[in-house]
Amino acid sequence: MNLFRPYCIQLLFWIIVWFFTGALRAEDGYQLWLRYNKISQPKLLSHYREHITEIVIQESSQTFQAVQEELRKGLSGLLGKEIPVVSSVSQDGAIVVGTLEQSSVVRKLVGASELESVGAESYIIRSLCWNNRMVTVIAANQPKGVLYGAFHFLRLIQTQQPLDKLSIQQKPQIQKRLLNHWDNLDGSVERGYAGKSIWKWENLPGKVDTRYKDYARANASIGINGTVLNNVNSQAEILTKDYIEKAAAIANVLRPYGIQVYFSIKFTSPMEIGGLTTADPLNMSVCQWWKEKAREIYQDIPDFGGFLVKAYSEGQPGPQIYGRSHADGANMLAEALKPYGGTVMWRSFVYDISIDKDRAKCAYLEFVPLDGKFASSVFVQTKNGPIDFQPREPFNPLFGAMPKTPLMMEFQITQEYTGQSKHLVYLAPQWKEVLDSDTYANGPGTLVAEVVDGTADKHTISGIAGVSGIGTDRNWTGHHFSQANWYAFGRLAWDPSLSSEQIAEEWIRMTWSNDPQVINPIQKMMAGSWEACVDYMTPMGLHHLMAEGHHYGPQPDYVHPGRNDWSSTYYHKADANGIGFDRSEKGSNAVSQYHQPLRQIWNSPKTCPEKYLLWFHHLPWDYPLASGITLWDRLNMHYQKGVNYVTLMQKEWDSLQGKIDPGRFEDVENRLEMQHENAGEWRDTCLKYFGRFAETQEQCEP
């Protein structure tokens, strides 16, 4: 007996250790921001337990099953006890969830007029006193709105907000909020850094991966309502019967979560899989083929969203082969989808430099003349900047130049040019900079966000797309912090006026911890991480200095053997006389594609903001900046500043040891170390290369 005693004490000791460190047990990031860990502060917990005692649901559609499942899972996790689902209010703390049409309780609590004006995806969450009972109602016109409301309600608890006196009304600012997967049918992902494609085409339709449902939950929780399953560098096979059936199986999982599926299509599909000899959009048999194809798709996927098209760009075929325009191609597809309400998203990512030697000008020159020629269900999907998802670009001048065409914004969530899954770079500030830019299209105060949400030009459709960074990695995105970019994309798509700080705080609280000692350092890390990346990669308006092909590290000396505009030297134009791309009136005159006063401000190096200086100007190395510092010295400062910030992020992160679960802590720690090393490489390689010119330059005439 005595011999046994020390073991018991030891066991007890370990049980106590296990209990108190329970919250820090290794996590792998799979749950994303939907962790639903039990609230640990007793006071808060009793507040929530008081306000949540039962879930009142009277509906049973698939979406309502999803709502019920999520609320049960979320609330039982957060509150640490089962919350019963009932069909009528029986006590204080009832959470009444439903639509006006189907739920008699909702009808009693909410006036029809309140919901009438808000639209299909909107919802209200309100604290009420009813029959002397304290209740919370989550109500909407459509089940989908209720689902969004339920996720919002869970978020309130996850971020530890009080639940009394709730009065929330939400409505998405942008209608189509899509992820674009650049996933190939062989399971690889173009510009994917988080493993393989999550779509297991070889197992579909028979075997449906359980991950699809978690994908749907995560997306619905941030309001994403559509997903393009395959790469814009498309393969015709996606339109074969087999693949339509496979996609239908995915669509069945996503549907209850309000997510429609879309395909990227290859323009020559009628020839490749349809046996036709042409893909000319004005040819009757081609039009007929697409109509038939649309019919076939909608038979299997009744809520199919539509087609995304990369045409006549980077080797993809397009209507131009037949002497037809982008509008001819897009309208033919729109006609085929019309009976079913499908949408066409025609990309403006084209740069035929026979049109203009400055790649940044090409899309504008091709697309602006087509404004007004697209069918009403066609979006022109446009990247945020005029080149290609660079760490920083001025906004794409197409925003504000095609008032008769709804422009769908395309952001890149996957970090092709921003350190891939090795660098911690929070991209919301980049997207905000673009969305908040004034195009001056209808006079001062016509923001890019307003062009995108349709209000600037009174469009009835609006859309935004993010190129997905999702893969089969256990944590979905490779870097744990890349999850923040997925999250932020969804939140900004819902409401572009949210601040990047606000979004970061929500995400941190849900993904890491509600402890201010964790929130503050992570906020700090994220806040400056994008600017740091710009600094150590491409400061002051530089762009496309990345290594050829993989686009990860620096290669400022790269010269493409065949295409000038695929060379780094084409973009920075460094020589003994200076550095930068002259896009002023004296140069390519790309400034003329912007409205006044931007055109004028950006045209002069004196007034052009430093962040765009070398985007618009070629300047001598000793060009004196307003601060009195020379351009070359300033460039050096930026590169160093970027690297310093990574050191700061490392310090902040190290301060969190013991406050973050060890699995995720170490993973991020290791990646920060890599980032630091690589940021240093960027600085050293670029400064060494530019220094060859800068430090031999003859001095400017005073």
Phi (first) and psi of residue 687, to 5 degrees: -70, -35
Quote the least distance from Cβ 233 to ligand GCW, whole Å: 5
CA 454/CA 305 separation, integer angstroms: 19
- Comparing CB distances to ligand GCW, the nearer of 328 and 416 is 416
Quote the least distance from Cβ 465 to ligand GCW, whole Å: 11
Show the 3-state SS of 364-420: HHHHHHHCCCCCCCEEEEEECCCCCCCCCCCCCCCCCCCCCCCEEEEEECCCCCCCC
- Comparing CB distances to ligand GCW, the nearer of 190 and 371 is 190
Among 202, 314, 548, 698, which one carries the catalytic annotation?
Answer: 314
Quote the least distance from Cβ 389 to ligand GCW, whole Å: 5
Write down the residue that tokens 């295409």 correspond to.
Answer: 563
User: Do 416 and 613 contact (CB within 8 A), yes or no?
Assistant: no
- Comparing CB distances to ligand GCW, the nearer of 295 and 563 is 563
- Comparing CB distances to ligand GCW, the nearer of 149 and 319 is 319
Quote the least distance from Cβ 383 to ligand GCW, whole Å: 7
Among 183, 328, 356, 388, which one carries the catalytic annotation?
Answer: 388
Mark whether 416 is an active-site residue.
Answer: yes
**Token reading at 550:** 């993989």
**Token reading at 380:** 């022109």
Quote the least distance from Cβ 471 to ligand GCW, whole Å: 15
CA 275/CA 263 separation, integer angstroms: 20
Burial of 507 (0-12, 13-18, 19+ CB in 10 A): buried
Distances (CA, A) of 404 to 117, 374, 675: 26, 9, 44
User: Do 427 and 467 contact (CB within 8 A), yes or no?
Assistant: no
Quote the least distance from Cβ 418 to ligand GCW, whole Å: 12
CA 331/CA 380 separation, integer angstroms: 12
- Comparing CB distances to ligand GCW, the nearer of 190 and 515 is 190
Quote the least distance from Cβ 492 to ligand GCW, whole Å: 20
- Comparing CB distances to ligand GCW, the nearer of 566 and 612 is 566
Q: Residues interacting with ligand GCW, by CB under 6 A? A: 182, 190-191, 232-233, 310, 314, 349, 388-389, 416
Angle of the 143-158 helix axis to the 62-79 helix axis, nearest 10:
10
- Comparing CB distances to ligand GCW, the nearer of 232 and 598 is 232
- Comparing CB distances to ligand GCW, the nearer of 189 and 220 is 189
User: Do 675 and 422 contact (CB within 8 A), yes or no?
Assistant: yes
For every residue of 591-658, DSSP letters joined together read GGGS-TTHHHHHHSTTTS-GGGHHHH--B-TTPBPTTS-BHHHHHHHHHHHHHHHHHHHHHHHHTTBT
- Comparing CB distances to ligand GCW, the nearer of 31 and 382 is 382
Quote the least distance from Cβ 411 to ligand GCW, whole Å: 11
Among 416, 453, 506, 531, which one carries the catalytic annotation?
Answer: 416
User: Do 346 and 295 contact (CB within 8 A), yes or no?
Assistant: no
Q: Which of 157, 168, 70 is nearest to 128 (CA)?
A: 168
Q: Which residue is nearest to ligand GCW (CB)?
A: 388
User: Do 51 and 93 contact (CB within 8 A), yes or no?
Assistant: yes
Quote the least distance from Cβ 521 to ligand GCW, whole Å: 33
Phi (first) and psi of residue 243, to 5 degrees: -70, -30
**Token reading at 327:** 């509008």
Burial of 11 (0-12, 13-18, 19+ CB in 10 A): exposed
What residues are annotated to the active site?
314, 388, 416
